[in-house]
Structure 1
């Protein structure tokens, strides 16, 4: 298993023995948020103020510990932070779909 590649994988997919090879839409929303964070923070995937090895992050995600990248207040506007936090919610049902994300991004681009 390539641990660094798992940093973009949604926790619920990491937890199942045989994840769907095509993933899930809600899992893609989670991955999208991790990528948005990389762009906004100008840091690598899963940048945190604490030093964690990729293996530790994946283990924490599998165990249901709420591990997410660190957000600095001055890195981006509040609406973008809110979008990221909604997209990487622990419960996939709480994550927006891509139609909702598109509307939010349009509002942010005005």
Structure 2
């Protein structure tokens, strides 16, 4: 596994932890867990062939990584009940988009 791929996976855990610590410290564990659930959108990778392609940009390719889905994640951030999960989804998509940029650069 490449350094970029390992860093990408670590950021998927570290960024939600940082956000939980900075903004939801009083309920850090629950906030971090709910944001980590944003990883569930990677289930759409099971629809692809091959399932994992290290140099494939997820954004726009997988159904749960498309613009309409991202808009839905933004809408989920509005109600308090789904906000932390939605933040996790949006962080996930942002990190995947960053990975796409890094792939194009190198």
TM-score, structure 1 as length reference: 0.32
- Larger fraction in helix: 2
TM-score (norm 2): 0.33
